[in-house]
Chains A and B, each alone.
Chain A
Amino acid sequence: MRNMDHTLHIQLSNCEGAIIRALGLMERRGYTLKTCSVGEPEGVGREMEVTVTSSRSGDLLKRQLERLHDVFYVELKPAEPIKPHSPGIRPINSRA
């Protein structure tokens, strides 16, 4: 399978380690992180939008993230072919 970009919108708890746990899972399961932004919306918890590249399925990553106790909700956006110029990893909290 060829590499694809997968973009996921993740709502998660603001407990210690929640963000690093989710990001660590992505890398460990074979998804290379391309962009990441973290926000602190009104209400409870945090939200995160990430784009990852992998030959593995975005849906599988969604289900793996949903297993995490800290993760409340994951939305997988439609997969895209790889973009030629990656914007790189944006600083955490760039959207906050």
Chain B
Amino acid sequence: MNPSTHMVPVLRSGSQILIEALQNNGVKQIFGYPGGTIMPVYDALVGSGLKHYLCRHEQGAALAADAYGRVTRKAGVCMATSGPGATNLVTGIANAFMDSVPMVVITGQVPTALQGTDAFQEVDIFGITMPVVKHSYIVRNVSDIPRIVNEAFQLAENGRPGPVLIDLPKDISAGMGETIETLPAPLPEASKPDPVAMQQASDMLSRARRPLVIAGGGIAISDSVGAFRAFIERTGLPVTTTLKGLGIMPTDHPGYVGMLGMHGNGAANHVVQNCDLLMVVGARFDDRATGHLSQFAQSARIIHLDIDPAEISKLRKADVAIVGELKPALEGLQPENKANATWLGQCAGWKKEFAWRYDAPAKGIYAPRLLRDLSRAKPEGLTITCDVGQHQMWVAQHCSFNDPLEHLSSGGLGTMGYGLPAAIGAKIAKPEDMVICVSGDGSFMMNVQELATINRYGIDVKILLFDNSALGLVRQWQEIFFEGNYSEVHLDDNPDFAGVARAFGVKARSISEPEEVSQALDWLLHTEGAAMLHVAIDSMENVWPLVPPGKPNHKMMSAKTADQGTGNGK
């Protein structure tokens, strides 16, 4: 890139230049944690006008920046010192990489002269993070800082977004330099979708007897939800979504058949296995979505729309590929016919057959029903952040979403501990919206220290904590696939979670009986300030359906088939 320049030489410290470069890129908030080698930057932060949120672990800072990036579609910024500060960011960086989230990461580094000498708090974070960044830099000259920062934001936010790391040795951040102020380079003009591929795709859609669209997270990332919904209204095509695609179609839309995959809806999995044309939009054939790949949608031809050429035919060969921005492609596709009524009738039949039921006998509070009730009671503009595990799948199955940004979940990396820092990042990004972190007792303890961040800044997030005194999803797999040989999954010694929350200044209540749910949800949604509802549930409750690993999507196990011994034993 060749940034256009204004020739205004100025002498300042590397840290001052960094802060100014961040501000020039629109940064207003930073999540971070100070330490030795990043101290010059924290020194320059004072009085800069940038708002810094001190998280209580660097991973919390990185995950909060991730959620901030998802909600704003602008790079979330996190910052930490060298060594352990930097390595603690790695999970958050990988999380952003796997889910294509814009993020700029700034790490302190030992002074240049000490690099490579095993200096105190020295790690090669540039090397460690190479597989999980879109790009990374080590700054070698003070004068390079503005260019590198501008490039970092452009790379993080454009094309397929992702995290960009800037490793800043202390002699650079503390050193003085003459810099030339730079402005971000103009973006290259987006390429238009290939007209030949567009025509082929339109023809295939016109001819298909059993077409289906998979809506993936790329639609939300590229802000193409409106164009996608208009395309669906125009064509009448049935739609399924991936985990990250939830909310791209309103949950109650008649053509929406639910989420597909391992814990997807039976209707979605049957529709996808029976379709003859699959149009995949901004999704990447993840194994949790496809089940056994070679048996996935075996009769279907594939149209794949994605901004990333490297996703085309990576796992499933595309018959037609449309590479580039999704919005113009979706606007340009004009099949002659609408989806045929017979197929739509079949889809509607599956939808009816596999509609979620809430009448199963359950001991105590049934989490799926509670989540359905939460969705019914929720105010407009509610964002749900999830941790990872059974509760995450129940949220995906039983909550309603009208927009993909209402649901923030660690899809690719599956990071336990995402939910609470993500709620912080989301609330800071959109303070007018209500944010609820839905968590489990295993996940919550992974970043429980962020309760202190909530308390410190008075961040109004609600926490719905399902406590089954177990690592539930692992326990479920041990029950089904390891013959009930439970290994290190029991958490009977959990702390008093409500007491923990109160110790951090967060209001809290605990419930364990179904008749308490309605009033407790009301309390959670209407309590002023941060609040936690701790919900004790049955430790043996499972997530159904389940496509066993290595099986095709239509071979789903349910509570009924598991009881009949379809699994490998209980």
B47: interface (CB < 8 Å): no
Q: Assuming the A-B contacts A16-B140, A69-B155, are A21 and B312 also in contact, with contact meaning beta carbons closer than 8 angstroms in the complex? A: no
| Interface segment out of the listed B102-110, B127-135, B476-484, B486-494 | B127-135
Residue B224 at the A interface, CB < 8 A? no
Q: Cβ of A64: which chain B residues have Cβ within 8 Å of it?
A: 310
- 0/1 string, B130-166, CB within 8 A of A gives 1: 1100111110100000000000000100001000000
Cα A25 to Cα B134 in complex, Å, equals 12
CB-based contact B155/A60 at 8 Å:
no
- Our pick among B126, B155, B310, B312 for the contact of A17 (Cβ within 8 Å) is B126
Tell me, rounded to whole Å, the shortest Cβ–Cβ distance linking A55 to chain B. Answer: 14
Please state if A17 and B131 are interface contacts (CB–CB under 8 Å): no
CB contact list, B436-475 vs A, under 8 A:
none
Given A16-B140, A60-B313, do A67 and B130 touch, yes or no (CB 8 Å)? no
Q: For the complex, what is the distance from the CA of A57 to the CA of B309, rounded to whole Å?
A: 14
What's the Cα separation between A17 and B140 when bound, in Å? 13
Inter-chain residue pair count (beta carbon < 8 A): 35
CB–CB A63/B134 < 8 A: no
Tell me what chain A mostly uses at the interface: helix, strand, loop, or mixed: helix
> Shortest beta-carbon distance, B65 to chain A, in Å?
21
Interface residues on B, range: 10 to 19
Contact A67 B136 (CB under 8 A): no
Consensus secondary structure, chain B interface: mixed
In the assembled complex, A66 has its CB within 8 A of some CB on chain B: yes
B538 at the interface (CB under 8 A from A): no
Partner among A24, A60, A70 whose Cβ is within 8 Å of the Cβ of B131: A24
Q: How far is the CA of A28 from the CA of B132 in the complex (A)?
A: 11
Contacts A16-B140, A17-B126, A20-B127 given; does A69 touch B134 at CB 8 Å: yes
Q: Report how far A21 CA is from B131 CA in the complex, Å.
A: 8
A: contact size bracket: 10 to 19
A10-47 to B contact mask, C-beta < 8 Å, 1/0: 00000011001100110010000000000000000000
Q: Which residues of the partner chain B approach A57 to less than 8 Å between Cβ atoms?
A: 313
User: Can you offer 15 A-B residue contacts whose CB atoms are under 8 A?
Assistant: A16-B126, A17-B127, A17-B130, A17-B138, A20-B127, A24-B131, A25-B131, A28-B131, A60-B313, A63-B310, A63-B312, A66-B310, A67-B309, A69-B134, A70-B135
Chain B residues packing against A (C-beta within 8 Å):
126-127, 130-131, 134-138, 140, 155, 160, 308-310, 312-314
Residues of A within 8 A of B (CB): 16-17, 20-21, 24-25, 28, 57, 60, 63-64, 66-70
